[in-house]
Amino acid sequence: MLRAATLGAGAAVVGGVMPTGAAYAAPVIYHPFSAYPITDTWEGHLRRGSRGGIDFGMGVGTPLPACGAGTVQNIPYNGDGGHTVTIHHGEGYRSQYLHLSQFLLADGASVGAGTVVGRSGGAKGAPGSGSSTGPHLHWHMIDPSGTYINPLEYIARNPAGQPRQVFEAASNAGWRALPVSGSGGAVTGTSVASIGAGGTKIIYSLNGGQVWEAASNAGWRNLWTGISGAQGSALAALSLGGEKLIYTVVGGYVHEASSYNGWRNLNSGIGGVSSSSIAVIALAGVKYVYSIVGGYVHEAHSANGWRNLNTGIPGSAVAAITLGDTKIIYSVQGGQVWEAASNAGWRNLWTGISGAQGVAALSLGGEKLIYTVVGGYVHEASSYNGWRNLNSGVRGDTAAVLALGGVKHIYAA
């Protein structure tokens, strides 16, 4: 069964062939409080009007390990929550520990999973206890859209970044999701990208830093391309004039590999890049790469030696399409999807889509389509219906889209 947290970024149709972009990965979180009893559940918090949380019974002064890597922010006397530690993870996710008796690290400190960030509190009336009436720790997470999420459910959906089975769903089959399997076994990945080449659907998946290729006309037999060292979940693919191209992030740089050179991986020189999201399109034979650098979308293209330029558009994930001679970027900011077009000077406009975790996009017959994950399902929104977001019924942690013969395909893992 497909589980959802994040969605792949970037897709476009050029002359009926669709290059796509990368996945948006969920950070790895573990449960550091399994030795302590749960004294109030997530559902109990919701029934009392809380936005959600889990309480663990523990004595005042108990060390509190970070549930995942990130950056620490201390919030003293945070209303009912009292002394609160926020751990800012990658991709806009945050974890919060409430009712602390002591902070142990300075604001901005980088931590790994298991680093002790503070000590528990909660004794009634004690400094930093907030509204707590007895010693305990309150733990919740917040996703990129600002929604409170149950950390135990999050961990169950995201088992330490392990590869997941890739499913295919087609619009002409009512989005019925079917597992992609072949003579080489099931296709799995922590992120996926897809292209259409002629009449063939091709999936690229990322497993342990290695990129694999599977094609529909070969029964989805999964073959290693020889590309290694890919970091995070940044994966994009492009089909251009019979050449298949793969883009990954290695050591903070975007690398390009071509089927014409036996997939030899080459550094484009595009640096400082987040390893979570890249997108690629082609226009008039020129390849354009979009990446996140310092929280902003940057554009680089093959005709200018990949010189990287800041578009001025903030974002944590990016997708790109072409429509005629216009390049269009979709970015995610705080769970909202924004659209900016090159022929409007990249003026950024909110589409009205919220709650998104990553973004993918498709241009088909003049219609602009956006795909996001909302509440564990892949949603589709069309420019023809005023970006009204609709549930496709397809679930997945990471996804990509392509169009072939007028049929839209979602690949989700």
* Three-state helix/strand/coil letters over the chain: CCCCCCCCCCECCECCECCECCCCCCCCCCCCCCCCCEEECHHHHHHCCCCCCEEECCCCCCEEECCCCEEEEEECCCHHHCCEEEEECHHHCEEEEECEEEECCCCCCEECCCCEEEEEECCCCCCCCCCCCCCEEEEEEECCCCCEECHHHHHHHCCCCCCEECEEEEHHHCCCEEECEECCEECEECEEEEEEECCEEEEEEEECCEEEEEEHHHCCCCEECCCCCCCCCCEEEEEECCEEEEEEEECCEEEEEEHHHCCCCEEEEECCCCCCCEEEEEECCEEEEEEEECCEEEEEEHHHCCCCEEEEEECCEEEEEEECCEEEEEEEECCEEEEEEHHHCCCCEECCCCCCCCCEEEEECCEEEEEEEECCEEEEEEHHHCCCEEEEEECCCCEEEEEECCEEEEEEC
The lowest-confidence range among 70-79, 85-94, 154-163, 399-408 is 154-163
**Separation between Cα atoms, residue 392 and residue 339, nearest integer Å:** 21
Q: Where are the domains of the chain?
A: 38-157, 164-412
Q: What mean pLDDT do residues 225-243 have?
A: 92
pLDDT at residue number 11:
37
Burial 308-320 (b: 16+ CB within 10 A, else e): beebebbbbbbbb
pLDDT at residue number 165:
84
Q: What mean pLDDT do residues 269-289 have?
A: 94
Count how many Cα atoms sit within 13 Å of the Cα of residue 122 in the half-sphere of its side chain: 22
pLDDT at residue number 373:
81
Cβ distance 246 to 263 under 8 Å?
Answer: yes
pLDDT at residue number 319:
97
The lowest-confidence range among 218-232, 298-312, 357-371 is 218-232
Q: How do residues 31-62 score in pLDDT, each as one tens digit? A: 889 888 999 999 999 999 999 999 999 999 99
Task: Report the DSSP beta bridge partners of residue 59.
Answer: none
Percent of the chain residues past pLDDT 70, beyond the cut: 92
What is 164-412's CATH topology? Neuraminidase (2.120.10)
What is the residue whose two structure tokens read 């009436």?
Answer: 133
Cβ distance 280 to 19 under 8 Å?
Answer: yes
Task: Please check the confidence at residue 1 and state whether its pLDDT lies above 60.
Answer: no
pLDDT bucket at 211, cuts 50 / 70 / 90:
very high
pLDDT at residue number 8:
39
Q: What mean pLDDT do residues 356-365 have?
A: 91
Maximum distance among all Cα pairs of the chain, rounded to whole angstroms:
70
**Separation between Cα atoms, residue 228 and residue 277, nearest integer Å:** 18
pLDDT bucket at 26, cuts 50 / 70 / 90:
low
Q: Which of 332, 381, 336 lies closest to 355, judged by CA?
A: 336
Task: Report the DSSP beta bridge partners of residue 167.
Answer: 179, 412
Neighbour tally for 234: CB within 10 Å? 30
The lowest-confidence range among 150-159, 203-212, 259-268, 323-332 is 150-159
**Separation between Cα atoms, residue 413 and residue 190, nearest integer Å:** 7
Q: What CA–CA distances, in Å, run from 382 to 9, 153, 252, 367?
A: 16, 31, 33, 7
Q: How do residues 154-196 score in pLDDT, each as one tens digit? A: 887 766 566 778 999 999 999 999 999 887 778 888 889 999 9
Structure tokens that stand for 396 in this block: 């997945």
Q: Which of 294, 295, 254, 364 lies closest to 144, judged by CA?
A: 295
pLDDT at residue number 355:
83
CATH number assigned to the domain with residue range 38-157, chosen from the 4 options 3.30.530.20, 2.70.70.10, 3.90.105.10, 2.40.30.20: 2.70.70.10
Task: Please check the confidence at residue 7 and state whether its pLDDT lies above 70.
Answer: no
Mean pLDDT of the chain: 89
pLDDT at residue number 413:
80
Task: Please check the confidence at residue 288 and state whether its pLDDT lies above 70.
Answer: yes
Q: What mean pLDDT do residues 375-385 have?
A: 90
pLDDT at residue number 90:
77
Q: What mean pLDDT do residues 84-95 have?
A: 91
